[in-house]
Amino acid sequence: MRSVLSGDESAWNRFVIATADTVYCAATSIFPADQSEQEALILFQLLRADDFAAIRPFDGRSSLNAFVALKAVDLLSDRIMSRFPVDSEAAWMAFERFFGPEIRRFVNCRFRLPPGSSVFEDGTTTDDKYQDVCEKLIENDYSRIRKYDGKGSFTGYIRKLVRNLCEDLHRAMAGRRRLPEAVQRLGELEQAVFKEIYWNNVARDNAVLEFSARGFSADAVKQAILTLENAYRNTAASAPKRHVSLDSDSKGQASLIEEVSCEGSDPESTLIRAQDDQAVEQALSSLSIALERLPKKAQLYLKLRYFDEPPLAPREIAPLLNMPVKSLYKEREKWEKRLLHELNSMGVENFPVLSV
């Protein structure tokens, strides 16, 4: 390394041979095969640039290839950032290859699936949450990514950005929750126990211990759990199954929405379903009219996302619409807002079936 830093060309050639696999693997992990060789050569140029500024701090405490691998990460992230103004589509592809695994790690840490379930309460999966984060990064021509001002490392900036986006999405998801009216009529202890058991997935026995530690008697907590279970049983017994068929038009085309089933199995969905029934009945009569006013792709997306059983995730719908996933994520918010606008124009302020 001393010979390299002194400008010895033969030493530089030995350096290239010694680190070629590391640099080439870094390039191929991010860029397409037809670009990776060129990108590897660019990496070597960047390692040599400004009088070897990138590799000059090497002090021998780690292996040379480990040190070069870390430097390659920083240089590649800078390369990705520099490509956004030139070719944003190609830059995004490289960005997702580079940061995708880390984004998934943040998502998996922030969004915990209910025990024994592969989906969240809103029907989405961790893959959907990953796509939601990517959608936020893509918004407004990648404006969040482009705001990087060069202070600190680009990698550190993206990590902080993704962490904040996960927090925002988590707060939005929690904010949509509401206590069923049957629970709102109960006492503060029953409401608090309901949140712990049905929102935070705390086992009943653990809930008794937790509230006992807060100063409540174990008997009072057990009675609160019993009261909640009775409220669920009473509501479930009186809540009928409801099936609704909506035709997409009067020309004999296939039904846009074949069936909407309101049957639920858990206490929270059952209690909320009962109070929503009347609102849903009023809204359904307006829904088919509102849907007819939307483009056909929008109609199909909304059907597959919200009314089919089981509902499909956006990444599964995109191929059916012959659209790239990224394009669908750009369009879906417009379609959902358009549908709500059409419903609002007919006097339907909220539509309980849609979680938009």
Residue 288: per-residue pLDDT: 73
Write the pLDDT tens digit of every residue in 315-330.
778 888 888 877 887 7
The gap between the terminal CA atoms of the chain, to the nearest Å, is 58
285-288 long-range contacts, Cβ below 8 Å, gap at least 24?
286/343, 286/346, 286/347, 286/348, 287/246, 287/257, 287/343, 287/351, 288/246, 288/247, 288/248, 288/256, 288/257
Residue 52: per-residue pLDDT: 92
Closest listed residue to residue 318, CA positions, set 301, 299, 339, 294: 301
Domain ranges of the chain: 2-175, 181-238, 243-345
Q: For 190, phi and psi rounded to 5 degrees? A: -60, -40
pTM, rounded to two decimals: 0.49
User: CA gyration radius for the chain?
Assistant: 27
Closest listed residue to residue 40, CA positions, set 54, 60, 25: 25
* Contact of 155 with 247, CB cutoff 8 Å: no
Segments of the chain scoring below 70 in pLDDT = 114-116, 121-122, 174-178, 199-201, 232, 234-285, 307-311, 348-356
Q: What is the DSSP letter of 322?
A: T
